[in-house]
Amino acid sequence: MKVLYAVSEAKPFIASGGLGDVAGSLPAALRKRLIGCRLVMPLYDGIPQKYKDEMKFITHITVPVAWRRQYCGIFEYKYNGVICYFLDNQYYFKREGIYGHYDDAERFAFFSRAVLEILPFLDFKPDIINCNDWQTALIPVYYSRFYANREGYENIKTVLTIHNIQYQGKYGHEVLGDVAGFGEEDASLLENDGCINFMKGGIECANAVTTVSPSYAQEILDPWYAFGLDHILNERKWKLSGILNGIDTVANDPATDPALPAHFSADDIAGKAVCKEALQKEMGLPVRADVPIIGMVSRLVAHKGFDLVKCVLEELLTTADVQVAVLGSGEWQYETFFSEMAAKYPDKLAVKLGFVPALASRIYAGSDIFLMPSKSEPCGLSQMFALRYGSVPIVRATGGLKDSIQDSGMGEGNGFVFEDYNAHEMLHAIRRALAGYADAEGWAILRKRAMDCDFSWGRSANEYIKLYKALLKE
């Protein structure tokens, strides 16, 4: 079986979020299971020069972009056992950042078409092309309309993985022909709610649609979560499934993480106390071994649950013996709120605005409890990192949080869960966790159970392989 993983970002080359984490790990996990998986992505200007210097030039071609043809250079680089192809066009990709440009529709229409155009020039004909999010969602549309019956392209199956349905690639009708290169006869594939919608086209034309957790696959059938695509997904739910993401357990290991002041594991937890003390010193909190630290590493935006936190944080700080360590950046209202609260309660709340990966690791390792009260969460990785580093998660039962965290109230489970999107229900869950922390013996059992959870990519890769095999039997 040969799989081409088409993606707009991937670690370690360039990434803006969870999509890059997945693309940096899943292809290698598939390779380890004897699946011929290769990756293809744009050659952005922001990719570090050390990788560019070692890329091998294969050839260059021209790619149709509606009525014009554009240069496309093909470069190859091997990383972690995976052959990666980088598609070069300096007009589209020699820019600062990955997304947010005025012509993103054209940039990713070019990339999607180029993924198909390069196939005859590779020593690799895929059985499956796994596309990811709206940036590559046109690949199944282009394949079904222009390539399926072309010699050398026969019998390729396409999979579209939705990492976050909020971002759909929505544009005016004028992009249909002038940018994407489709005729009016194809408009029905991409039109939705008066717009041309790249993700809608991918859902219509892909052989299978996956999301990054089983619960999210069910949630996006509901208008509350689907951002206008629920009717399309309900009509196509026979091709929809959810596979929970994993994490890189080698790069994220408290026994070896170079960012930590001391190392520890589920079987030898002593180093976690050292990490806790170091975190308190680094964040400017009083050094106290007896007080629980609640950690948060997140974008400071409403859908991550910060409106709930804003509602009850002062009540928590004034009624509980607790410390809170926050790392993140985002909306001005939350950055301002946390800065003001940290100034008001300097012995209980510490905030670092921005994102420092090494500090994120130290918060996972040094905190006792990790709060993640998201309004929606397609998968979420932070709760898995927290488990790995022995910080017991408190989450809302949504998306991948619901699939990965089970409430420990009955003496089982790996965290604390609240159901309704309600600030005081969240506060009740926090107080349950604080009560659990006060029972040192019981907390040690819960923490070990959390650290023993397996969220490596192996389990997820096996689920993708099952899906690919089922498609090839059709």
Q: Which residue shows structure tokens 């998201």? A: 374
Task: Flag residues of the chain having pLDDT under 50.
Answer: none
Q: Rounded to an integer, what distance in angstroms lies between the CA atom of residue 287 and that of residue 220? A: 44
The confidence score (pLDDT) of residue 36 equals: 95
User: Considering the entire predicted model, what is its pTM?
Assistant: 0.92
The confidence score (pLDDT) of residue 474 equals: 78
The confidence score (pLDDT) of residue 471 equals: 96
Q: With contact defined as beta carbons under 8 Å apart, do 6 and 139 qualify?
A: yes
The confidence score (pLDDT) of residue 452 equals: 96
**Where do the domains of the chain lie, and which CATH numbers do they carry?**
2-246+458-473 (3.40.50.2000), 270-454 (3.40.50.2000)
Bridge pairing between strands 195-197 and 191-192: antiparallel
For residue 144, give the DSSP letter.
Answer: I
**Exposure of 256 by Cβ count < 10 A (0-12 exposed, 13-18 middle, 19+ buried)?**
exposed
The confidence score (pLDDT) of residue 377 equals: 93
- pLDDT tens across 11-59, in order? 999 988 789 989 999 999 999 998 999 999 999 999 999 999 999 999 9
The confidence score (pLDDT) of residue 283 equals: 97
